Structure 1
Amino acid sequence: MSSSFFHDPVEWLDDKLNFRVVLYTIASIFFASLFVACLVTLLNARYYWDGFNFCTNPECLLEFPRVFAPQVRLIKFGAASSSFVVLVFGSYLALRSYLTSMNVGVFGNRIAHIGFFERFMQIELMRRRAISPKCVDVYSIYRLMFPKGHLNSVYASEAFVSAVKKVYAVISSSSDRYNRDRSFVFEDHRRRLVESLVGVHIEMDGTARIDFLEVEDEVVDFLAMLCRVFADSDVDIIPPPRDYR
């Protein structure tokens, strides 16, 4: 069960409860029952004075629980109520300890996952010399692939897949223009591709055609690799043909 299920109630309890408040509550309940017991005794003082003789024999002491039965029940009720508060607070502390340890574990796993992703990206970028590592925002790509509500998944998010599809749609559109009526204009293709790559946090400079297409080759291959590794197996993303190449 995710700790987010308990997050809001526990956060509210954290604001309202602390050890001093609980201690005061326990003491207040017990002393309130003791006060009421004493008050009952005082209100019935004449009854005890007239109905019983003062006695200190052991036999007389054994009669105290019967004579003062209402007061004893009140004190027992106060002690039981205090014990109940202790039990509830103890359960809360156990839950809080569990959630804290869970959050620490999740945080540790998150750091380890980011570290693995960073090293993986560095290795893959080293294999593609045309792509400058400073033009690839690794951490922004990670946030896009694994957003806050997607932390426990091993697959890339729909947002990332959609961003890659937009890049491929630009390439496919340029290829169609090139094949259909030769209305393909490289400058227009370059501008649209650079704009679409912003969605996957990759920057491309508006260099000359040959240099741009060389970088484009490796960027397309890089995105395809990310989809093969991190996208769900049900997601079928194939780089479109680039006939204008």
Structure 2
Amino acid sequence: MSSPSPTRLAPEPARALAALTEARERTLALVAPLGAAELERVHSPLMSPLVWDLGHIAAFEDLWLVHRFAGQDMVRPDLAEVYDAFETPRAGRGDLPFLHTDDALDYLAMVRDRVAAATERLGTGDGLLHELVVRHEHQHNETMLQTLALADPGVYAPPARSPAASRDGVPADMVRIDAGPFLAGAGAGRFTYDNERPEHEVDLPTFEIDRLPVTNGEYLDFVEAGGYRRRLSWSEAGWAWRTENGVERPLYW
């Protein structure tokens, strides 16, 4: 699944609805290979059941676009607490009375029908709430992918795989980045989360970085060469994590 392109929504209803639709298509394509049993079980104590994420996506849109934006009663106000991410830590979500798969999918559809009707009638205002909901759904796609990566081997087979980018003609060397100022964060005039603000300048020391992403084969070479036993290959925090957890290779390798 390719990464979504960050797009600042224009206030036109058609563009906002197209972005919402694209996000929903990604969500449904992501879970399409899975049955209800796999969606409703806890795959890792670090993560929510996947069906909780589906219900949470619907509840978030219900709150921010049906209720806050359109001024209507929420479709399912009774579910607000179940899907409140602040009130329900991940470790306990498997025990919550969350919606089962078919009901969660119905909730997603009902909320979206309300949002589409309200957007066509009211427009989008400044577009920020619609973009918030789009980005939130993309964010949970990433969370769900993390869950699937932690699931037992064989649980998930993606519906499509992107071909690896060609490395032909590109040297696999290190690139030196000279010390200097770097503009971090996000400025005004576009959608941002609070932890991306304010825009500020950071002085970076000189460093080197691989020109190309590390491949599985290259990382396997690192593992077989004793990289998980070589202290110099790790940051202080990384080495502490590796040691405390007895990690000798990536999960499932």
TM-score of the superposition, structure 1-length normalised?
0.20
TM-score of the superposition, structure 2-length normalised?
0.19
Higher strand proportion:
2
Structure scoring higher RCO (CA < 8 A, sep ≥ 6) equals: 2
